[in-house]
Structure 1
Amino acid sequence: MDYIHPFANWSAGILGALGIALILFMAIYSLFAACRHLIRHDADTAEVFNEVRQRLGRGILLGLEFLIAADIMLTVAVELSFETVGMLVVIVLIRSYLSFTLEVELTGRWPWEKKREAE
């Protein structure tokens, strides 16, 4: 059982670093793609702005999912107590709320509206 704690710490650290790296990479990629698009094409700045928001928003959503997974892994496998579970609940609620609002911002619809249109 002692070998699980270092592995869980290590795995959670990798997932957390991956989430941060994804957000950073998408931010840099979004800005680079916008600059390239503005230089090479005679594009409308509003279109480029929307593309940057879409790319960056998707990167943040994906990064948040990895950060949530890292927090869950760290709490459940390493420090399981009522205090850490309470902190995990608060963190997951905040990050889930951020993910939900970003999804609404990116798509312009509530998530359940997609299902209605598909039917």
Structure 2
Amino acid sequence: MGNWVVQVAEWTVALTELIGLGIIAFTALYSIAVAALHGAKGYDAAGIFREVRQRLGRGILLGLEFLIAADIILTVAVDLTFESVGVLALIVLVRTFLSFTLEVELTGSWPWQRSSQEKPEQD
């Protein structure tokens, strides 16, 4: 593969990882700021806690998706060996497990257990 393809892939990976990390960090800071604002307004502490967990969980899920995408790009475009594919498979497995457990934490059910009315509409 051409050297320029590897360079583009490495830059793409770095940018995608930065986006994923930025989403997680921004969501964490935003969740804390909203919680502080709601706490100052005297909202229910249990409600604030649930809201922060939900908001942060959604941000982590989205950030994990970007990090998985970066790992896939890196493995396929830059370092395609049996070892790197095995490591990628383990990373994707762990991150997918985290995504599913976060989804259960946020919604209270597995994604396939939700009724058709609760599923997001697809265009």
Normalised to the residue count of structure 1, the TM-score between the two structures is: 0.94
Instruction: Using the TM superposition, give the Cα deviation of residue 76 of structure 1 relative to its aligned residue in structure 2, in angstroms.
Output: 0.3
2:121 maps to none
Unmatched tracts of structure 1, length 5 or more = none
Rounded to whole Å, the distance in 2 between the matches of 1:11 and 1:113 is 36
The letter of the residue matching 2:21 is: I
Rounded to whole Å, the distance in 2 between the matches of 1:79 and 1:43 is 51
Aligned pairs for 1:5-84 (under 5 A) are 5-39=6-40, 41-84=41-84
The letter of the residue matching 2:23 is: L
What is the count of residue pairs matched by the alignment? 117
Structure whose residues are more often helix by fraction: 1
- Write out the 4+ residue segments of structure 1 that deviate beyond 2 Å after TM superposition: 116-119
The letter of the residue matching 1:45 is: A
Rounded to whole Å, the distance in 2 between the matches of 1:117 and 1:74 is 36
Normalised to the residue count of structure 2, the TM-score between the two structures is: 0.91
Instruction: Using the TM superposition, give the Cα deviation of residue 57 of structure 1 relative to its aligned residue in structure 2, in angstroms.
Output: 0.2
The letter of the residue matching 1:28 is: L
Unmatched tracts of structure 2, length 5 or more = 119-123
Instruction: Using the TM superposition, give the Cα deviation of residue 38 of structure 1 relative to its aligned residue in structure 2, in angstroms.
Output: 1.1
Deviations 1:28-71 (A, max 9, x none): 100000000111x2211000000000010000000000000000
| 1:93 maps onto 2:113 in alignment | no
1:118 maps to 117
The residue matched to 1:3 in structure 2 has which SS?
A: helix
Q: Percent identity?
A: 56
RMSD: 1.2
The letter of the residue matching 2:36 is: C
